[in-house]
Amino acid sequence: MSTHVEFYWRPGCPFCSRLRGDLRRVGLPLREINIWERPAAAATVRAVAGGNETVPTVVVGEKAMVNPTAGQVLDAVRAQAPELLDEVDGDAVTRLAQGAWWGGAVLSVVVAVAWFLLATAHPATTYHFAPMLVAAAWPVTRRWRTRTVLPGRVAVRTALGGATVAMVITALLAVRHALAGPTLLGTGGALTETLIAVAMGAVFGGVLAVTGRRKAGQ
């Protein structure tokens, strides 16, 4: 008897939608079960989720997982039903592990715009942490979205992306003479300290992006 990936979900669950989308993109076949339509399925979920109807819950053979990552599901498939991997797109799995390139970019740009507007309105105020946040937001958010550490080259590219956004805003503020506030170091001026903050943010974000434990099997 072949093993199936049983995907327990319910309508309106955003975590279910995200995980199901990730698994569909890699081509993993799922047996989707709506726990609101099948009382027995709800009972199954309660049995493995400590009495709660927490979804998504995924069962592969003897392995039951409550709100797992796509990587954890694939690891379970490797152990419990490796024959299902024949239907999986290896390139899609690699892209999944790396996360979408724009993961974090939106937050970085939003913070950058807020910094630009504040600094333009109050040029005599120095927003010391803003350039650091802009540079770090992209790699940190991308790592958070993937729920695993990023490959080194991906972390570097993403950190450079955040730094680039911060540098563009820095250049615009410099042209508008909106970097005229006080400094922390007392030397070099606000522009120099802003550039230092950008570099620190990029390094900090890149380090966080590769810090932690990688999903098994990657």
pLDDT given for residue 217 in this prediction: 42
- Contact of 15 with 70, CB cutoff 8 Å: no
Least confident segment among 87-96, 101-110, 122-131, 191-200: 87-96
pLDDT given for residue 96 in this prediction: 72
- Contact of 131 with 166, CB cutoff 8 Å: yes
Superfamily, domain 5-98:
Glutaredoxin (3.40.30.10)
Least confident segment among 38-42, 130-134, 185-189: 185-189
Residues 146-189 pLDDT 10s: 777 888 888 999 999 999 999 999 999 999 999 988 888 766 78
pLDDT given for residue 64 in this prediction: 94
**In angstroms, how far is CA 55 from the centroid of its own chain?**
20
Phi, psi for 161 (deg, rounded to 5): -65, -45
Residue 216 has pLDDT above 70, yes or no: no
Between CA 126 and CA 18 the distance in angstroms is 39
| The dihedral sign for the CA sequence 63, 142, 21, 55 | positive
- Predicted TM-score (pTM) of the model is 0.66
Mean pLDDT of 100-115: 87
Angle at 155 between CA 151 and CA 161, to 5 degrees: 150
> What is the edge-to-edge ordering of all strands in the sheet holding 5-9?
31-34, 5-9, 57-60, 63-66
The domain segmentation of the chain, as residue ranges, is 5-98, 105-209
* pLDDT class of 99 with cuts at 50, 70, 90: low
